Amino acid sequence: MATRNAIARLRREAGLSQYRLAVMVGVTERTVWNWERRGIADAKYGAAKRLARALGVPMEDLEEEE
């Protein structure tokens, strides 16, 4: 399962800036910044699904372990 830092790592591996990822997902750059630091627990389902698609990973890979 991905940790908060994994979102930033996956974004960099995909060759995306925070801005470009934000555009792809349909959120603000600040939202991507927050996800990278706090995780996506509070993200709306649709945004989380678009994030996973943009990063090329299954949505389960973005979920935090309890």
The CATH number of residue 51's host domain is 1.10.260.40
Asked whether residue 37 is domain-assigned, the answer is yes
The pLDDT of residue 16: 97
pLDDT score recorded for residue 34? 93
Query: What is the model's pLDDT at position 64?
Result: 59
Asked, for residue 32, whether it belongs to a domain, the answer is yes
pTM of the entire structure? 0.85
Domain of residue 11 covers: 4-56
Residue 62, in any domain of the structure: no
User: Which of 2, 62, 23, 66 is CA-nearest to residue 31?
Assistant: 23
pLDDT digits (tens, 9 = 90+) for 16-66: 999 999 999 999 999 999 999 988 888 899 999 999 999 999 988 877 543
28 within some domain: yes
Domain count, the chain: 1
Determine the distance from the C-alpha atom of residue 36 to the mean position of all C-alpha atoms in its chain, rounded to a whole number. 7
| Own/partner long-range contacts of 38-41 (Cβ < 8 Å, ≥24 apart) | 38/4, 39/3, 39/4, 39/7, 39/64, 40/7, 40/64
User: Is 10 inside a domain boundary?
Assistant: yes
Is 63 within a domain?
no
